[in-house]
Amino acid sequence: MSVNRPKFCFVVHPLSLEDVARYEPSAAGKGAPIVRKIMEWMPAWNAAHVTGVRTPDGRETEGWFVSACLLPEQMLEFPREDVYKRILRAIEIGVELGAEVAGLGAFTGVVGDGGVTIAERSPIPVTTGNSLTIAAGIQSLFRGADEMGIDAKEATAVVVGATGSIGGACVKLIAPKVKHVILVARNQTRLQKFHESIEGELPCTSSCTTDISEAVRQGQLILTATSSTQDVIQPEDLQTGAVVCELSLPHDVSRRVAEERPDVLVTEGGNMKLPGAPHFGRVREPGQEFDLNLPRGTALACMSETMVLALENRLENYTLGRGIELEKVIEIQEMAARCGFSLADMRAFDTAITPEKIAATRAAAQERRKGVMA
């Protein structure tokens, strides 16, 4: 017999113009200027009802994906107060439906101060979900290293977006497992200041640069966690046999990598398998499922963190701001495991990475190395 727990809401938004149709099918085929204009005035709305998330010991929660409607670039360009209002209205819709804890998805957890102001104004506790995203990303990166036969202890790791809330924590968690770590970010002053503040406590050697291409060329293990709306990882910069784990939405890795570099393993690091029999029912189109663009039963780690907090009855502001507490990363990973959440199967460029695909990637890397050495 299931035991119901507090309900949750999670604020979502389209990641690109092409993505708008996933939220609003009637937008398909309309021109970009019209879609952008509609998004400007479109109010927040309840997109999906989430049911069937159930732990092995019978605890169950339900929730809602509420759309804040704006595109990533609009969230960065529009007056911050206008964006805050849109996000807060989405949370209020969740509260009206019964939610007791809220999660901030994609750019809603990035804009401004990383959820701090939203949490201060929200009627219920808030999390960005970044702690579980970090935990899942670290697991995914080193799973990829194992699959590609990379000896992490002798490897150079590159963290792109190192001064962000996710990237900064990933640097600290990756450093004990590798030989050298390179921190990459756009703002030279902030990057140098951050590097200087942690360099002495890192158990491996480290360096920093604002030149993404230069850094990526040196790394065997690459983790990206940027708030960029453009591709930042290009195929010509990657080493033979490299592993790239991306935690960013929109994605950081150019699709050209899939076409031009069969010797490189790219994986989306922030996905989790949900316990129970989860169902994401579209609210406006009863009987249809809301497409997360992920395999059935899988959700983003940031969504999963919000669900875990509800299942564990932890109705509190959890992951907020630019500085992530490593203790919380460990704690939420333990809570998620207790609730039956697990790391999702490997996936990249909207396609599953099968054992056969991994074997082919390893073989392509070996052939490329032979060609270079010949």
| pLDDT tens digits, 106-132 | 889 988 888 999 999 999 999 999 999
Question: CA neighbours within 13 Å on the CB side: how many for 3?
Answer: 10
Amino acid identity, residue 288?
Q
Q: Is 196 exposed, middle or buried (0-12, 13-18, 19+ CB in 10 A)?
A: exposed
Residue-wise pLDDT for 322-374, tens only, equals 889 999 999 999 999 999 999 999 999 888 899 999 999 999 999 998 876 54
Query: What's the confidence (pLDDT) of residue 143?
Result: 97
List the domains of the chain with CATH numbers.
3-131+271-343 (no CATH), 136-270+347-373 (3.40.50.720)
Q: How many CB atoms lie within 10 A of CB 72?
A: 22
Query: What's the confidence (pLDDT) of residue 372?
Result: 64
Residue-wise pLDDT for 264-297, tens only, equals 999 998 899 999 999 999 998 999 999 988 999 9
Residue-wise pLDDT for 155-204, tens only, equals 999 999 999 889 999 999 999 999 999 999 999 999 999 999 999 999 99
Contact 9, 45 (CB under 8 A): no
pLDDT value at 226 more than 50: yes
pLDDT value at 210 more than 80: yes
Residue-wise pLDDT for 133-147, tens only, equals 999 999 999 999 999
The encoded tokens of residue 218 equal 């040196």
Average pLDDT over residues 60-81: 92
Query: What's the confidence (pLDDT) of residue 99?
Result: 98
Contact 275, 55 (CB under 8 A): yes
Distances (CA, A) of 330 to 102, 307, 309, 334: 21, 17, 14, 6
Q: Which of 27-41, 190-204, 205-219 has the lowest mean pLDDT?
A: 27-41
Question: Global pTM?
Answer: 0.92
Give the per-residue SS3 of 148-161: CCCCHHHCEEEEEC
pLDDT band at 308 (very low <50, low <70, confident <90, very high): very high
